[in-house]
């Protein structure tokens, strides 16, 4: 079933043309990602589909009564409402069904209205609505339902926008960078949610593991052309490489044909026949094709940094806390030359504060941090770059440095560095205010690198960067000879560039894990699951309260007890095998997975049993 048809749309702003004559469709059940470089018009395409912008040419048509929700980078919440009131103020049709049911409960004399309301509750499965939205808010770390929206941080507001969107369960969900401002646990939960929910997605994201695990189709906008890949990110990489190789073959043939036709042109007399003119027209088309150049760049730099002494960075029993929030608790670590450390942990555990302490922007409460005399930090923060009005791209970077020295007396200039990071020569003379958010982040990154630091600190460098830029940054960092300390929720990025991790567990606990993120996730999944349910604050009196249990729920309640008993027996048998060391070596892996699945099933059943039991009181 077709939801959206995009036909020959074009968009330009003054002399800047973003795209022309783009056509594609979105069908029910598809989970599509749009990939393009920063500044190519991805957000403009999302706005056009969502009806927030209009194309200069072409049209977008949608199925009648399509329930579409657009999760953009900006929210439009009312600051005086609470988190819970914001959920109930949405366009979710279930909210109206519940309101009618509560009205019927408060007016018992109207039996007909009560029967209709009850049937609607059954039809929309509205009995579980409170549980559903509480669970989603909990997974996104929004546990205080009575907190005013105006008191939320920027990241919390974005997570609330995501939560409200998921609670509404639209037919088509349009997402602009949905994993920004989520920690790794939230991202992995969101992956699982999208995989199991029957929802149609059209999204822009730079998270390549998210693309791999969620999407079943990728649309790439590359040099003004759309390319469709019916598969996940791995499939996209494979087919794109095949396409580029084919383009190189075609380009080589075009060059040979151009050379042949050039010789023919030189031999022609001034008086030309109609047949000759036709061939001349073809010649100019061939010339254009043969002179095409791809703008993809790979960074292959042998950087010469300032010499690092024996003392790099030493942390001696450092402690830090803000009231009851403990960031560090007598933490010790001595950095070595060439170390590449990734930092992961839930939001609010102090990752950015830790970086600020290292760079002496924040003081420790006790202990000390000693920076070696030869250390020169390069610090990429989340706050971005502050530029003067009317500044051009090239002027901004030259304020920080003119060149980076390379081996054998060579160097790379500020302009060349910008070009390596996908700023064309023409783009370098654009005003900074014309750049997209991702392009400004890219420019900020270049201002850090041009200073040629020997200790590079990156705080969420991948936010708002397109995949092409991420590939360039990864290539640069793989060649980077200095120390690297990076905070990122981009698992693909972390896997590629770091050697070990600082895992911020919270309450001042920091674990040094010897491996990349995938190694860490494998290790964590192999551990027995721990029960640590999030506590939700009591629902306010204004919230809908449903106390009646229908016949189907009573039957479900009885079946849950039987199923839990059966799973408990299976669990005991498997655990006994491990305790008595009776598991064959070849079965250890499969039985571990089975035990983990049983524990997860029991946990889900216990939650549902508790929820139903409350209705019997």
- Share the mean pLDDT of the chain: 82
The CA R_g of the chain, rounded to the nearest whole Å, is 29
CA 355 to chain centre: 22
Confidence of residue 279 (pLDDT cuts 50, 70, 90): low
Q: Residues 311-340: pLDDT tens digits? A: 999 999 999 998 888 999 999 999 998 899
Q: Which fold has domain 2-87+134-233?
A: Rossmann fold (3.40.50)
Asked if 313 contacts 455 with a C-beta cutoff of 8 angstroms, the reply is yes
DSSP 568: H
2-87+134-233 against 313-515: fold identical? yes
Q: Of residues 608 and 237, which shows the higher confidence score?
A: 237
Write the CA distances from 558 to 401, 554, 564, integer angstroms. Answer: 72, 6, 10
Indicate yes or no: pTM above 0.75.
no
In 414-472, where do the E strands start and end? 455-459
Q: Of residues 273 and 380, which shows the higher confidence score?
A: 380
Asked if residue 9 has pLDDT above 90, the reply is yes
Q: Residues 10-55: pLDDT tens digits? A: 998 877 788 999 999 999 999 999 998 888 888 899 999 999 999 9
Confidence of residue 522 (pLDDT cuts 50, 70, 90): confident
Which one, of 174, 201, 203, lies nearest residue 34 by Cα?
203
Confidence of residue 294 (pLDDT cuts 50, 70, 90): very low
Asked if residue 293 has pLDDT above 50, the reply is no
Class level of CATH domain 313-515: alpha beta
Which one, of 49, 32, 38, lies nearest residue 218 by Cα?
32
Question: CA–CA separation, 211 vs 524, rounded Å?
Answer: 22
Q: Of residues 371 and 223, which shows the higher confidence score?
A: 371
Least confident range from 144-148, 305-309, 467-471, 529-533: namely: 529-533
Asked if 185 contacts 83 with a C-beta cutoff of 8 angstroms, the reply is no
Asked if 604 contacts 537 with a C-beta cutoff of 8 angstroms, the reply is no
Q: Give the start-to-end residue ranges of the domains of the chain.
A: 2-87+134-233, 237-290, 313-515, 551-616
**β-pairing verdict for 172-176 and 57-62:** unpaired
Percent of residues, the chain, with pLDDT higher than 70: 84
């Amino acid at each position: 079933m077709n939801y959206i048809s995009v036909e020959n749309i074009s968009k330009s702003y003054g002399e800047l043309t973003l795209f022309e004559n783009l056509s594609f469709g979105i069908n029910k059940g598809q989970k599509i990602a749009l990939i393009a470089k920063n500044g190519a018009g991805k957000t403009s395409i999302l706005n056009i589909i969502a009806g927030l912008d209009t194309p200069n040419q072409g049209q977008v048509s949608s199925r009648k009564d399509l329930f579409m929700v657009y999760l953009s980078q900006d929210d439009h919440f009312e600051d005086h409402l609470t988190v819970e009131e914001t959920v109930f103020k949405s366009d979710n049709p279930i909210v109206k069904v519940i309101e009618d049911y509560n009205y019927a409960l408060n007016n018992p004399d109207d039996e007909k209205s009560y029967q209709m309301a009850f049937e609607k509750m059954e039809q929309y499965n509205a009995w579980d609505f409170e549980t559903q939205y509480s669970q989603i808010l909990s997974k996104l770390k929004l546990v205080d339902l009575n907190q005013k929206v105006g008191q939320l941080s920027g990241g919390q507001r974005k997570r609330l926008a995501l939560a409200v969107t998921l609670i509404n369960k639209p037919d088509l969900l349009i997402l602009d960078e949905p994993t920004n401002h989520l920690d790794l646990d939230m991202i992995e939960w969101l992956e699982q949610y999208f995989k199991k929910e029957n929802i149609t997605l059209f999204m822009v994201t730079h998270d390549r593991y998210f693309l791999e695990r969620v999407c079943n189709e990728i649309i790439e906008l590359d040099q003004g052309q759309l390319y469709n890949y019916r598969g996940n990110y791995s499939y996209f990489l494979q087919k794109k490489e095949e396409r580029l190789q084919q383009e190189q073959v075609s380009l080589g043939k075009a060059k040979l044909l151009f050379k042949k036709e050039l010789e023919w042109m030189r031999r022609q007399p001034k008086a030309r026949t109609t047949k000759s003119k036709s061939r001349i027209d073809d010649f100019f088309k061939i010339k254009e094709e043969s002179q095409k150049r791809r703008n993809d760049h790979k960074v292959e730099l042998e950087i010469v940094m300032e010499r690092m002494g024996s003392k790099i960075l030493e942390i001696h029993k450092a402690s830090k806390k803000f009231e009851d929030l403990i960031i560090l608790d007598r933490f010790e670590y001595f950095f070595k030359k060439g170390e590449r450390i990734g930092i992961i942990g839930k939001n609010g555990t102090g990752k950015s504060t830790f970086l600020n302490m290292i760079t002496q922007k924040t003081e420790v409460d006790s202990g000390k941090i000693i920076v070696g005399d030869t250390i020169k930090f390069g610090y990429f923060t989340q706050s971005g770059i502050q530029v003067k009005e009317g500044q051009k791209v090239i002027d901004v970077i030259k304020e920080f440095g003119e060149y980076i020295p390379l081996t054998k007396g060579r160097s790379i200039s500020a302009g060349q560095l910008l070009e390596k990071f996908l700023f064309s020569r023409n783009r370098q003379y654009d005003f900074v205010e014309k750049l997209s958010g991702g392009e400004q982040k890219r420019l900020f990154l270049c201002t850090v690198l041009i200073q040629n630091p020997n200790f590079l600190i990156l705080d969420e460098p991948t936010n708002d960067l397109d995949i092409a830029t991420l590939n360039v940054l990864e290539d640069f960092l793989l060649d980077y000879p200095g120390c690297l300390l990076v905070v990122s929720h981009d698992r693909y990025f972390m896997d590629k560039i770091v050697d070990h991790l600082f895992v911020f567990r919270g309450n001042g606990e920091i674990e040094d894990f010897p491996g990349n993120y995938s190694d860490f996730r494998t290790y964590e999944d192999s551990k027995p699951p721990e029960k640590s349910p999030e506590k939700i604050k009591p629902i306010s009196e204004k919230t809908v309260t449903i106390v009646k249990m229908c016949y189907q729920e009573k039957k479900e309640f009885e079946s849950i007890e039987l199923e839990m008993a059966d799973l408990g027996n299976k669990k005991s048998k498997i655990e006994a095998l491990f305790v008595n060391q009776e598991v064959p070596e070849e079965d250890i892996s499969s039985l571990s997975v089975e035990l983990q699945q049983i524990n997860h099933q029991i946990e889900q059943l216990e939650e549902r049993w508790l929820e139903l039991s409350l209705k019997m009181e």
